[in-house]
Structure 1
Amino acid sequence: MIQLKNLSLRRGLKDLLIDASLTLNPGYKTGLVGANGVGKSSLFALLKGELHADAGDADIPKQWVMAHVAQETPALDTAAIDYVLDGDQELRQLEAELAAAEARDDGSAIGHLHGELARIEAYSAPARAAKLLTGLGFAVEAHRNPVKSFSGGWRMRLNLAQALMCRSDLLLLDEPTNHLDLETVLWLEDWLQSYPGTLLIISHDRDFLDSICSHIAEVANQTLTLYTGNYSQFETMRAEKLARQQGEYDKQQRQIAHLESFITRFKAKASKARQAQSRVKALEKLERIAPAHVASPFDFHFDSPDNLPNPLLRLDKVDIGYGSSTILRGLSLSVEAGSRIGLLGVNGAGKSTLVKLLAGDLPQQAGEVIKAQTLKIGYFAQHQLETLREDESPLQHMQRLAPTVRELELRSFLGGFNFRGDSATDLVGPMSGGEKARLALAMIVWQKPNLLLLDEPTNHLDLEMRHALTLALQDFSGALIVVSHDRSLLESTTDLFWLVSDGTVKPFDGDLEDYRQWRLAQLAEGNKPSSGDAQSVNRKEQKRQEAEARQKLAQLKKPLLSKLAKLEKQLEQLSGEKNQLDAFMSGEDAYSDANKAKLAEAVKRLGVVSSELAQVEEDWMLLQEELEALESSTQAD
């Protein structure tokens, strides 16, 4: 088992863990979760021997073989499949010993080594390596290509394959789904579910954690807490724990206030000095309970677009590709107002290529792209992060977007993306990928697009920010097209899917579970995916109607929501004035001779304000009922 005992870990001047303890039994599949910067990757570095604890112990059984994904891949001439086989170090060691024994013609050693190779099933190793490469998206003909011929993203997949090839007792995976497509994530899930060793995984993909994990270890408040169950079960248990903790914290704060009040009042009195001193000691010995932090640091939403033309965009017999190479042919598609579309397809099928065309970043090779006159696109892709100015702050980026808007308003907006205080004026250059992604999203949200194009928007985002983005997208009244390996985001924000396959784009009549089953069947059979096989369950018409209903509801609600906002502003003003009048009339000064006239005026004004307040409250209630009735009738339709 893995045992962390009274562990303290520091990076620079920052204490990551203080006196933390954790026990992981053999076979546990544990998700390591926590906000960015709390020390998850540092804990991995400690387990790998790259860091040393500042105090306490980290014990891993000496005989355990540990595997992890290398962060760097040298430009080697080694064939991809041989590079993957290098992950099984015992295999390579036995092969080297066998070659040496054969060179010196040592029959006894040769016999023994053949027995050892048989024990580890060495003769099936190339087939296992090929299966890993295929599962991770490598074409069979690419298995013999040299490592140096692959791009950075594919080299990371080679490193992952090499780690999986190792017959390990402990497997450490740090964000393994980043830069993988949905199909590869599904395959990796199945592989990890059957992994017999102990797994420790850092991931911000809640569906991935739900599918694999038997336990969740949370890093928070400089300590480690182990929960039994998957991520969804952890969220429920953590919420219950935080509610209890907040109650205990509030109770303790009252106790501390009472002790401090007694000390302040009586420490100078001789008759009470001893009692005051005893309370000082009690206060010093009190083990402080930390306040519970339940609220997300992120709070933002998409404002309603100024225009929602229909259709927003249409493709007529469009071919797209790069140079003389055509990726997708004969596309005739329409993006309607209110459409919420998820793009499915294997890596390299053309999902990002299609999004680039829709965004205007890639010209069509043939056909026509017809855009509505008032089309306003918000486009997020990984290369958008590279367009941020590293020598400027988030606030300066927003000021360039909105030069006439007050700084206070821009700071308040950035606060919803957790750029608060000094972080709003920090330079972008040293920021993490997650912080840059949050800034890029903030700039898109500010511009009030009516069509959102999101290409892997959750890479680098932690679980809290993914949740906040999901909620914001659910309320977005424009059209949405998203490419993502995050199934929770896809399931929560889209109504229909387009399948990018075989050089074309077609509606996929099914949900993500249908797609999962279809893809797993394709992988099991080893056949090339065909869009004709994708007719699982016909829900296209139902989903189209749902999209139309939501669009209709948004249009009907818009004037009502505008009235509601005005009423709420009136309520705030009238309530404030009533509180001031009540405060004046409850004071002794109001009834002095000098304030007789003022009191009379206050009594008169209070009657008017109370009457107006009652009317506005009634109007507000009626409007709320009208909105609820509108939503109910739309759902019933």
Structure 2
Amino acid sequence: MGTSIRELHKLLTSKLPEPRRDARPIEPGKMESELQSQIPGLDHIITEYSVGYLTHAANLYVDDACAESPLTEAAESVTELLVSASGDFSPQNYEAIGNLVTRFITTLSSSDGDPERRQMPFKAKKLEQTINVGAQRNMSSTLGLTGNTVDLESANARKMESKVDKKKLEKAERKIRAKQDKKSMKNVTYEASRLLNQPDEAMSYEEFFMAVNPLQMGSDSQAKSKDIKLDNIDISISGLRILTDAAFTLAYGRRYGLVGQNGIGKSTLLRALSRREIPIPTHVSILHVEQEITGDDTPALQAVLDADVWRKHLLSEQAKISKQLAAIEEERSSLADTSKDAARLDEQREGLDITLSDIYGKLSEMESDKAESRAASILAGLGFSQERQQYATKTFSGGWRMRLSLARALFCEPDLLLLDEPSNMLDVPSITFLSNYLQGYPSTVLVVSHDRAFLNEVATDIIHQHSERLDYYRGANFESFYATKEERRKTAKREYEKQMGERAHLQAFIDKFRYNAAKSSEAQSRIKKLERMPVLEPPEAEYTVHFAFPGVEKLSPPIVQMSDVCFGYTKDRPLLRDVDLDVQLDSRIGIVGPNGAGKTTVLKLLTNQLEPTSGLISTNSRLRIGFFAQHHVDALDMTTSAVGFMTKTYPGKTDEEYRRHLGAFGITGTTGLQRMGLLSGGQKSRVAFACLSLTNPHILVLDEPSNHLDIEGMDALSDALRAFEGGVVMVSHDVTMLQNVCTSLWVCDGGTVHKFDGTVNAYKKKITAQADAAGVVAKH
């Protein structure tokens, strides 16, 4: 039997590896051939490096009972390197390679071996200066030296001359890293735009809130700065690196919009912040809107009040201490002032009075007396009438429970409020309220959103997440950020191309005259100039997405016509009445209105999914309607690939044709062959649009089509809808998409649908004016 992983780990973590009785030592000169035999085709650069690294570590062995042998980290790193280079991550291969490394280090560490094989161990020595391991930029990430291990050459006071060709080593490491990335992509289960689950299902909301946000009593917490500044943060999930050595900075009171492509890791960053996996100071309170609340018999208004756990806890303690004081007063009144029991009770009362005073001070700081009115105004702004505020939370649908989660977060007013795509759960009136509310928010806001209009109104700064880093655009809303980003990209591209041209010109002269005696000095001068030139990273490729819908054959009118249509899910409670709507091949109709008013119902009536209670819906007999549902993911099979799903659902084409069709909607490369459960929310939306276009529709009926799409995807969809030759009817909360696509705006409210004479911005202004008149907009 070979060395097991458990035995290997035990051997590597011991002070000095002991020779195995059944392990045949490997002579240093034969280690390379053994590795080549175990891993056919292994690059000899990696072989030389592995042997040299282990030998070097053996020479640096610290003969100290409390010190850890450098062989431990060297053996672990080399084993991981060789396993990665082999491309076989099976336990059997890991065991075989680990056995080889064990046998080799047994020889190196053996005290019975050749004395020249090991030098005398060096003693522990105080470093002349502090070494920041994380800042060592030339460490090998493949060997794991950027973690808690030590850069051996930097830590060792002796100057060791490396015999490894660094350029060849870097090339080998890039190959290994590419293999690791390819492997890890198969196992990634991260979905960027999906609402995350409860952080710990074993913990209640109250327990998690108090664990993440410890109560800060007294004035010390108020005096502390609530700015956040962290350097060199790394975040990974399921083997996928999200951020590397990134700087994270938030100035207190600023509102940050976090933008980036679908799947780049924005939600992962928010989740890490909300759990304090990133070291945020404990006096900075954090709250993340990430899931709908659990429904029970608690009224909606009380659920919002209960969200401020410390307020609820302090009120409970206040009532408890007040009862204790009343009991002490009653007992004290029957005792003489000079008795021992009286002195004891006076001491207890004094302690309780101090505690109660602290509680009163904290409740006053929280403005606890204004809590109920503030909670009611927030709920009203998010669409909850006074009557609905008294409904039990279990009576609300998932979308309304998400609104309750948002209301709870706004009510708690944490120092750092984290919002992940808040507009996905809101209608235009509620988005307008939220935008106005956040503009007066006194603390820090970090919001992930792809709604340009929302970011333009709310954000004071933009953070662009890409390429495992964060770029800051201070004092910028989305429009100014986008313009600045494009200018930066173009400038970087020009500088890079200019330098590449200069490098090519210098290299051509060097190659031509390097061995020319008359020109050798000039060639050497150009060589030095080339070496002094800064190394510029190639600019990122411009990220673009293109959608394309098929052409449409002409139909004679009427295409779709609704006349005096009435509908109700029950006869005694009609939802819609007297609806008149006409859709033509050139129609671009946007339907807006509060949630629950019947917008989706209108779309289902148009697509014959519902029958009207009365009235007439006439359609062309040859008409094909494509319907994009708000919960489109429910129609996809998460266990198969996009190509496999299309083959089964829309047969008649080859796999290559399906892949080309998906490419027209931004699903390129091998993404169409991956299991759809591994795709991000935006990628699933693109698959749904690709499937929709296979039906060759004359009319596109879209229910919240912008949900989960990144900004580039929304731009591509807007362009495709404008170019579409058929008609478009959409329900959307995204103001930018409505402005870019729709030429006609209809409002669904008050039990009917009527045309609005004006733009989306005019509709928003009307809503804001109505809210102000009703006193809905909360004041801080």
Q: TM-score with structure 2 length normalisation? A: 0.62
CA contact (8 A) 1:378 1:449 kept: yes
Question: Secondary structure at the residue paired with 1:27?
Answer: coil
| Residue number in structure 1 paired with 2:667 | 419
Please report how far the alpha carbon of residue 384 of structure 1 lies from its aligned counterpart in structure 2 after TM superposition: 3.1
2:630 to 382, 399, 404: 382
| Residue number in structure 2 paired with 1:539 | none
| Residue number in structure 2 paired with 1:93 | 313
1:303 is aligned to 2:529: no
AA at the equivalent of 1:120:
M
1:28 is aligned to 2:254: yes
Residues 406 and 62 of structure 1: CA distance in aligned 2, closer, same or farther (over 3 Å): closer
Residues 398 and 103 of structure 1: CA distance in aligned 2, closer, same or farther (over 3 Å): same
1:514 to 762, 770, 773: 762
Distance, in Å, in 2 between the alignment partners of 1:260 and 1:9 is: 40
AA at the equivalent of 1:15:
R
| Cα shift readout 1:485-532 (whole Å, capped 9, x = no counterpart) | 10000011111112212211111112112211222232233499xxxx
Q: TM-score with structure 1 length normalisation? A: 0.75
Please report how far the alpha carbon of residue 469 of structure 1 lies from its aligned counterpart in structure 2 after TM superposition: 0.4
| Residue number in structure 2 paired with 1:329 | 577
Question: Secondary structure at the residue paired with 1:304?
Answer: coil
1:367 to 603, 607, 615: 615
AA at the equivalent of 1:351:
K
Residues 482 and 264 of structure 1: CA distance in aligned 2, closer, same or farther (over 3 Å): same
CA contact (8 A) 1:308 1:478 kept: no
| Residue number in structure 1 paired with 2:452 | 206
Please report how far the alpha carbon of residue 89 of structure 1 lies from its aligned counterpart in structure 2 after TM superposition: 3.6
1:347 is aligned to 2:595: yes
CA contact (8 A) 1:311 1:337 kept: no
| Residue number in structure 2 paired with 1:189 | 435
Distance, in Å, in 1 between the alignment partners of 2:283 and 2:421 is: 26
Distance, in Å, in 2 between the alignment partners of 1:172 and 1:178 is: 15
Please report how far the alpha carbon of residue 275 of structure 1 lies from its aligned counterpart in structure 2 after TM superposition: 7.8
What is the alpha-carbon root mean square deviation over aligned residues? Answer: 3.0
What is the 5 A alignment of 1:483-522?
Answer: 483-522=731-770
AA at the equivalent of 2:734:
D
Residues 261 and 424 of structure 1: CA distance in aligned 2, closer, same or farther (over 3 Å): farther
AA at the equivalent of 1:103:
K
Distance, in Å, in 1 between the alignment partners of 2:257 and 2:445 is: 8
1:68 is aligned to 2:288: yes
CA contact (8 A) 1:318 1:329 kept: yes
Distance, in Å, in 2 between the alignment partners of 1:273 and 1:323 is: 94
Gaps of 5+ in 2: 1-226, 326-348
Residues 400 and 525 of structure 1: CA distance in aligned 2, closer, same or farther (over 3 Å): same
What is the 5 A alignment of 1:482-631?
Answer: 482-526=730-774
| Residue number in structure 2 paired with 1:11 | 237
Question: Secondary structure at the residue paired with 2:725?
Answer: coil
Residues 264 and 114 of structure 1: CA distance in aligned 2, closer, same or farther (over 3 Å): same
| Residue number in structure 2 paired with 1:568 | none
Question: Secondary structure at the residue paired with 2:424?
Answer: coil
Gaps of 5+ in 1: 53-57, 529-637
| Cα shift readout 1:77-110 (whole Å, capped 9, x = no counterpart) | 3322122112334422321221122121158355
- Aligned residues, how many? 521
1:82 is aligned to 2:302: yes
Please report how far the alpha carbon of residue 347 of structure 1 lies from its aligned counterpart in structure 2 after TM superposition: 0.9
| Residue number in structure 2 paired with 1:428 | 676
Percent identity, aligned pairs only, is 37
| Residue number in structure 1 paired with 2:8 | none
Distance, in Å, in 2 between the alignment partners of 1:70 and 1:476 is: 36
Please report how far the alpha carbon of residue 116 of structure 1 lies from its aligned counterpart in structure 2 after TM superposition: 4.2
Residues 422 and 274 of structure 1: CA distance in aligned 2, closer, same or farther (over 3 Å): farther
1:130 is aligned to 2:356: no
Residues 515 and 255 of structure 1: CA distance in aligned 2, closer, same or farther (over 3 Å): same
| Residue number in structure 1 paired with 2:700 | 452
Distance, in Å, in 2 between the alignment partners of 1:39 and 1:278 is: 44
2:709 to 461, 467, 480: 461
Please report how far the alpha carbon of residue 281 of structure 1 lies from its aligned counterpart in structure 2 after TM superposition: 12
Question: Secondary structure at the residue paired with 1:86?
Answer: helix
| Residue number in structure 1 paired with 2:272 | 46
Identify the range of structure 1 (266-275 vs 117-126) with the bigger mean alpha-carbon deviation: 266-275
| Cα shift readout 1:333-376 (whole Å, capped 9, x = no counterpart) | 32233121111211111000000110111122222211012222
CA contact (8 A) 1:266 1:273 kept: no
1:470 is aligned to 2:742: no
| Residue number in structure 2 paired with 1:118 | 364
Question: Secondary structure at the residue paired with 2:720?
Answer: helix
Residues 116 and 436 of structure 1: CA distance in aligned 2, closer, same or farther (over 3 Å): closer
AA at the equivalent of 1:293:
A
Question: Secondary structure at the residue paired with 2:611?
Answer: coil
CA contact (8 A) 1:345 1:499 kept: yes
Residues 114 and 62 of structure 1: CA distance in aligned 2, closer, same or farther (over 3 Å): closer
Question: Secondary structure at the residue paired with 1:168?
Answer: coil
CA contact (8 A) 1:393 1:426 kept: yes
Question: Secondary structure at the residue paired with 1:429?
Answer: helix
CA contact (8 A) 1:342 1:483 kept: yes
1:231 is aligned to 2:507: no
Residues 166 and 234 of structure 1: CA distance in aligned 2, closer, same or farther (over 3 Å): same
| Cα shift readout 1:444-495 (whole Å, capped 9, x = no counterpart) | 2333322111110011111110110011112222211111110000011111
| Cα shift readout 1:163-197 (whole Å, capped 9, x = no counterpart) | 10113222111111112111111110010011011
| Residue number in structure 1 paired with 2:394 | 148
Residues 229 and 269 of structure 1: CA distance in aligned 2, closer, same or farther (over 3 Å): same
AA at the equivalent of 2:758:
G
Please report how far the alpha carbon of residue 266 of structure 1 lies from its aligned counterpart in structure 2 after TM superposition: 9.4
Distance, in Å, in 1 between the alignment partners of 2:591 and 2:302 is: 34
| Residue number in structure 1 paired with 2:353 | 108
Identify the range of structure 1 (451-460 vs 509-518) with the bigger mean alpha-carbon deviation: 509-518
| Residue number in structure 2 paired with 1:635 | none
Distance, in Å, in 1 between the alignment partners of 2:434 and 2:288 is: 15
Residues 323 and 77 of structure 1: CA distance in aligned 2, closer, same or farther (over 3 Å): closer
Of Structure 1 and Structure 2, the greater strand share is in 1
Residues 44 and 284 of structure 1: CA distance in aligned 2, closer, same or farther (over 3 Å): farther
1:158 is aligned to 2:404: yes
AA at the equivalent of 2:233:
L
Residues 375 and 279 of structure 1: CA distance in aligned 2, closer, same or farther (over 3 Å): same
AA at the equivalent of 2:566:
D
Question: Secondary structure at the residue paired with 1:382?
Answer: coil
AA at the equivalent of 2:487:
E
Residues 220 and 168 of structure 1: CA distance in aligned 2, closer, same or farther (over 3 Å): same
Question: Secondary structure at the residue paired with 1:322?
Answer: coil
Identify the range of structure 1 (80-89 vs 190-199) with the bigger mean alpha-carbon deviation: 80-89
CA contact (8 A) 1:314 1:371 kept: yes
Residues 431 and 15 of structure 1: CA distance in aligned 2, closer, same or farther (over 3 Å): closer
AA at the equivalent of 1:492:
N
Identify the range of structure 1 (316-325 vs 171-180) with the bigger mean alpha-carbon deviation: 316-325
| Cα shift readout 1:219-239 (whole Å, capped 9, x = no counterpart) | 111111111310011010001
Distance, in Å, in 1 between the alignment partners of 2:702 and 2:389 is: 32
CA contact (8 A) 1:392 1:427 kept: yes
